[in-house]
Amino acid sequence: MRGLLKVSKIFAISVVVSLAGCSSIIDKHVEYSHVQPDNYPVLKAIGYAPLDAQPGATDSEKMLMAIKVSKLEAYRELAEQVYGHQLNATTTVRGVVAQNDGLRSQVQGVIRGARVLKSYAVGDIYTTELELDMKTVYDLYIGQVKPKKIKRVTYY
């Protein structure tokens, strides 16, 4: 009799555990609340371009090209800060002597919300200063994807 009672208890416990593990039996409603960071960093970048090295027939054309190049260089620097560098390195060794050593760097990313702080020439160099407020980036991002955290789960 005691053995049968013990087996019955084990069987009852296993049935309860197996039913509790089946989430398809229980329906639930999950409420989310949106997550917002406490503070936002402001990234700054500077791009440079030499005026004389730019292609162009006149000084005005060279100036316009230097303005574009310095702005692109500043955006590249911002992309480096946000996304980082992808580095590929190769070294060939023959007879315990390095024969060929190569390093390739690549930056890829999308920068939205940056603004030009200053754009000016200093001697033969054209300079552009950019600023990327991550609050602006967050506001642009939150319009597309709303990050969430679980606020409450109700089971039925």
Q: Residues 73-90: pLDDT tens digits?
A: 999 999 999 999 888 999
Average pLDDT rounded to a whole number, residues 92-96: 88
> Residue length, the chain?
156
Average pLDDT rounded to a whole number, residues 62-69: 94
Share the mean pLDDT of the chain.
84
Reference 111, options 155, 143, 67, 141; nearest CA is: 141
Place 29 in a pLDDT band, splitting at 50, 70 and 90.
confident
User: What residue spans define the domains of the chain?
Assistant: 2-155
CA distance 100 to 83: 29
Identify the pLDDT of residue 150. 75
Average pLDDT rounded to a whole number, residues 97-113: 89
Q: pTM of the prediction?
A: 0.65
